[in-house]
């Protein structure tokens, strides 16, 4: 046993929402065990459980204490794990559920957004050598100093899974969700969006940061830093899904891999004194208010008054906190906010060696009458802030311009390197169902 391959499987909230879903996840887990793997499964809270627990807390208190929020929220994943262990027992296999603490997920003590400091996986290892399937409650840990229950914040369960995979030396961390993998654009907006069989960590990071919701940015970062391959798959149907791997493992890439989009809010500080340290004060204040800033644009002052405009985008949920944090600083003449702006991005590791991608993005949007309000770039991404209403159009025309669709790829790539791996809708699921 000790030498067989370890696989870590993570199931999201919709994948364990109802009893049937839990039994389906149990069958997938058992199938992997029967295929000779040692299996650790990390589970999220069922469906809307976390939302319900948060509402409960809000009903009791307007400002729930963070430590107690963690005690409260951590119950959701424990419920999923206990129920799934029962379902696995019914399939004739031995399973054991562990809390984050029992699984050795040691964190700092930043309640509701703790960082993983260490994974002391002794208990998981022992259970695996006893031929057990191990279920771990995602999203949670225990603080190293105070021994309190902590939660990891958004994307926590994915991060739990990747961290355990790294600690155990697992070859792959499989992320099961309600979608079939990572697509070249949102299939709800672009009909022939293509399932990407393989993307690099860098591309996945840019995509996650710019609107692709399949994998959480944080877990991808952790996976990249520890070189853990992630495999994003549907828990509802079979299919090859998307592998997220190191760049050296990917093939020669086209210039652009995917088009992503998001809605954000924008804050503009108009008439900011142009002196050293101002920007530092602004973003320190935002950081202390726990506001995640996305794009930042500052135009250079050209007038004699030496005043600049500073704009940035934030998640819509953070707009109020951002305004409050900056309101008291008194460093701008005006504070303007826009509750809803659109952002469209093209991402591709091949962009580095293909000049002209930026020009093509801007031309395409311009030709389609879509005004670009802000621009931000990285070596493998170009993002444009546009009118939120124009997002669907912008995604479609960019997806077409860079020939990302499954039809376009079939036509242009006779080598089959980019053969679409979208499984047929009526595929045979019997391998899992029969397990």
Residues that bind a copy of itself (CB under 8 A): 19, 22-23, 53, 56-57, 59-65, 67-69, 71-72, 74-75, 78-79, 81-87, 89-90, 95-97, 99, 102, 123, 147, 149
Nearer to a copy of itself by Cβ, of 90 and 249: the residue is 90
Smallest separation, CB 26 to a copy of itself (Å): 9
Nearer to a copy of itself by Cβ, of 76 and 342: the residue is 76
Overall residue count recorded for the chain in this entry: 435
| Sequence-ordered list of residues with C-beta below 8 angstroms from that of 435, at least 6 positions apart, any chain | 27, 28, 30, 31, 34, 91
Smallest separation, CB 120 to a copy of itself (Å): 13
Nearer to a copy of itself by Cβ, of 13 and 241: the residue is 13
Angle in degrees, 0-180, between the axes of helices 122-129 and 156-168, rounded to the nearest 10: 70
Nearer to a copy of itself by Cβ, of 149 and 182: the residue is 149
Smallest separation, CB 123 to a copy of itself (Å): 8
Nearer to a copy of itself by Cβ, of 79 and 408: the residue is 79
The bridge status of strand 140-143 relative to strand 149-151 is antiparallel
Q: Which of 227, 223, 174 is nearest to 31 (CA)?
A: 174
Smallest separation, CB 58 to a copy of itself (Å): 9
Q: Which of 229, 230, 235, 220 is nearest to 177 (CA)?
A: 235
Smallest separation, CB 82 to a copy of itself (Å): 4
Nearer to a copy of itself by Cβ, of 17 and 170: the residue is 17
Nearer to a copy of itself by Cβ, of 97 and 313: the residue is 97
Give the CA radius of gyration of the chain: 23
HSE on the CB side for 411, CA within 13 Å?
Answer: 6
Nearer to a copy of itself by Cβ, of 14 and 97: the residue is 97
Smallest separation, CB 43 to a copy of itself (Å): 12
β-strand partners of 164? none
Taking the C-alpha atoms of residue 349 and residue 256, their distance in angstroms, rounded to an integer, is: 7
Nearer to a copy of itself by Cβ, of 130 and 363: the residue is 130
Own/partner long-range contacts of 296-305 (Cβ < 8 Å, ≥24 apart)? 296/376, 297/374, 297/375, 297/376, 301/274
Which residue shows structure tokens 């994003």? Answer: 232
Smallest separation, CB 124 to a copy of itself (Å): 13
Nearer to a copy of itself by Cβ, of 81 and 204: the residue is 81
Two structure tokens written together for 75: 């119950």
Smallest separation, CB 70 to a copy of itself (Å): 8
> Is-contact 412 403, C-beta < 8 A?
yes
| Sequence-ordered list of residues with C-beta below 8 angstroms from that of 164, at least 6 positions apart, any chain | 8, 40, 42, 103, 105, 119, 121, 124, 136, 170
Smallest separation, CB 385 to a copy of itself (Å): 38
> Is-contact 363 403, C-beta < 8 A?
no
85 phi and psi angles, rounded to 5 deg: -60, -40
Smallest separation, CB 89 to a copy of itself (Å): 5
Taking the C-alpha atoms of residue 398 and residue 404, their distance in angstroms, rounded to an integer, is: 9
Which residue shows structure tokens 């802030």? Answer: 385
Two structure tokens written together for 315: 């998640």
Taking the C-alpha atoms of residue 178 and residue 185, their distance in angstroms, rounded to an integer, is: 16
Q: Which of 204, 185, 155 is nearest to 381 (CA)?
A: 204
Nearer to a copy of itself by Cβ, of 77 and 221: the residue is 77
Smallest separation, CB 325 to a copy of itself (Å): 23
Which of the 8 DSSP states describes residue 259?
Answer: E
């Amino acid at each position: 046993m000790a030498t067989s391959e370890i696989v870590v499987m993570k199931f999201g909230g919709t994948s364990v929402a109802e009893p049937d879903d839990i039994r389906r996840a149990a069958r997938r887990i058992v199938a992997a065990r029967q295929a000779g793997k040692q299996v650790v499964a990390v589970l999220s809270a069922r469906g809307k459980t976390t939302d319900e627990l948060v509402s409960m807390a809000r009903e009791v208190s307007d400002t729930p204490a963070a430590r107690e929020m963690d005690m409260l929220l951590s119950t959701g994943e424990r419920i999923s794990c206990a129920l799934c262990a029962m379902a696995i027992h019914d399939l004739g296999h031995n399973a054991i559920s562990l809390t984050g603490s029992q699984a050795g997920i040691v964190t700092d003590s930043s309640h509701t957004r703790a960082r993983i400091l260490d994974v002391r996986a002794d208990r998981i290892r022992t259970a695996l050598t006893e031929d057990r399937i191990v279920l771990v409650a995602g999203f949670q840990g225990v603080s190293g100093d105070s021994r309190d229950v902590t939660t990891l914040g958004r994307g926590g369960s994915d991060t739990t899974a990747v961290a355990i995979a790294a600690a155990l030396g697992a070859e792959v961390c499989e992320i099961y969700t309600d979608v079939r993998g990572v697509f070249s654009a949102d299939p709800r907006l672009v009909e022939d969006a293509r399932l990407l069989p393989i993307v690099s960590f860098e591309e996945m990071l840019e995509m996650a940061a710019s609107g692709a919701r399949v994998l959480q940015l944080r877990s991808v970062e952790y996976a990249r830093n520890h070189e853990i391959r992630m495999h994003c798959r549907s828990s509802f149907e079979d299919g090859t899904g998307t592998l997220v791997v190191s760049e050296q493992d990917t093939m020669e890439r086209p210039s652009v891999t995917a088009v992503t989009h998001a809605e954000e809010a924008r804050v503009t500080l108009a008439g900011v004194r142009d002196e050293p340290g101002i920007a530092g004060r602004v973003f320190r204040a935002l950081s202390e208010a726990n506001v995640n800033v996305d794009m930042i644009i500052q135009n250079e002052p050209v007038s004699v008054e030496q005043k600049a405009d500073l704009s940035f985008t934030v998640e819509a949920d953070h707009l109020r906190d951002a305004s409050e944090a900056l309101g008291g600083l008194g460093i701008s003449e005006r504070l303007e906010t826009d509750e809803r702006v659109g952002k469209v991005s093209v991402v591709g590791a091949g962009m580095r060696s293909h000049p002209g991608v930026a020009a093509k993005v801007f031309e395409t949007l311009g030709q389609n009458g879509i005004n670009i309000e802000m621009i931000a770039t990285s070596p493998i991404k170009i993002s444009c802030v546009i009118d939120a209403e124009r997002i669907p159009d912008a995604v479609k025309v960019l997806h077409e311009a860079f020939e990302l669709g499954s039809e376009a790829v079939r036509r242009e790539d006779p080598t089959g390197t980019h053969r679409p791996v979208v499984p047929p809708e009526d595929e045979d699921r019997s391998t899992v169902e029969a397990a």
